[in-house]
Amino acid sequence: MLNRIVFKGVKINMKSNFIVTAVLCLLLLMTACSPAESATSKQDYSLDANTGIADVDAVLSAAASGNAAELRSLVRYTSAPCTNADGLGGPPKCRVGEAEGAVSSVLPFLGGEGSFIREEEITSWAGVDAVGLYAIYRVAEKATMEEYYPRGNYAVVLKTSSGEAVSLRVADGGIVRVDYLFLVTQDSLEALVEQDASEVILAPKVE
């Protein structure tokens, strides 16, 4: 909020001008030293929310803990054959010396493009720096799904400290897919829920 100082009926001379300048400098200093505004908003829920759905609440609890290892322990991997084909999308790429079609266990990620983390590399995933909960919904069958990118049964949409959002797709007691949502706005998140939800478990707060 912008603070305004209004002086009425005061004749500004050199002395009073100095006082005004000093007051303004003090206000600027106080503003600079104030705690940064939280990355959460009034439209976010606390991470300690409880839905009564065991699979969802386990993921929420792990996200709220801030413990990446706890979140990683809930990953449910997808089996996928590797490919040497160029281009984006499709199954994971084969490693050097790995035969095409060799099957590995992976966690799929969607963002600017699709990618995978193999089970033996999962410790490289830092988890989610969650600071708030936006919505939870049951994923509709019509929702986007590509081969090796399971849609999951539920989506847990979390806000992060960077101001972005992450959707954890949940099924079989854990996380089956991670979607990174960049450059999010209230409208884009509401559109996501409207498009992909068959049932809203925890609805977005609308001001």
Question: Could you report the per-residue pLDDT of 112-165, keeping only the tens digit for each?
Answer: 778 899 999 999 999 999 999 999 999 998 887 778 899 999 999 999 988 899
Within-domain flag for 98 = yes
List the structure tokens of 163.
């101001």
Higher pLDDT, residue 119 or 48? 119
Binned at pLDDT 50, 70 and 90, residue 43 comes out as low
Within-domain flag for 44 = no
Euclidean distance between CA atoms 156 and 59, whole angstroms: 8
Euclidean distance between CA atoms 122 and 73, whole angstroms: 10
Binned at pLDDT 50, 70 and 90, residue 41 comes out as low
Within-domain flag for 12 = no
Average pLDDT value for residue range 40-50: 78
Higher pLDDT, residue 203 or 18? 203
Within-domain flag for 143 = yes
Residue 68's domain comprises: 54-202
pLDDT in the model for residue 51? 93
Within-domain flag for 150 = yes
pLDDT in the model for residue 87? 74
Within-domain flag for 34 = no
Higher pLDDT, residue 107 or 86? 107
pLDDT in the model for residue 14? 37
C-alpha dist (Å) from residue 192 to 55, 109, 136, 184, 201: 21, 17, 11, 10, 14
Within-domain flag for 16 = no
Euclidean distance between CA atoms 141 and 153, whole angstroms: 9
Binned at pLDDT 50, 70 and 90, residue 30 comes out as very low
Number of compact structural domains in the chain: 1
Within-domain flag for 78 = yes
pLDDT in the model for residue 88? 72
Average pLDDT value for residue range 48-64: 94
Alpha helices, H only, 67-119: 68-72
Round the average pLDDT of the chain to a whole number and report it.
81
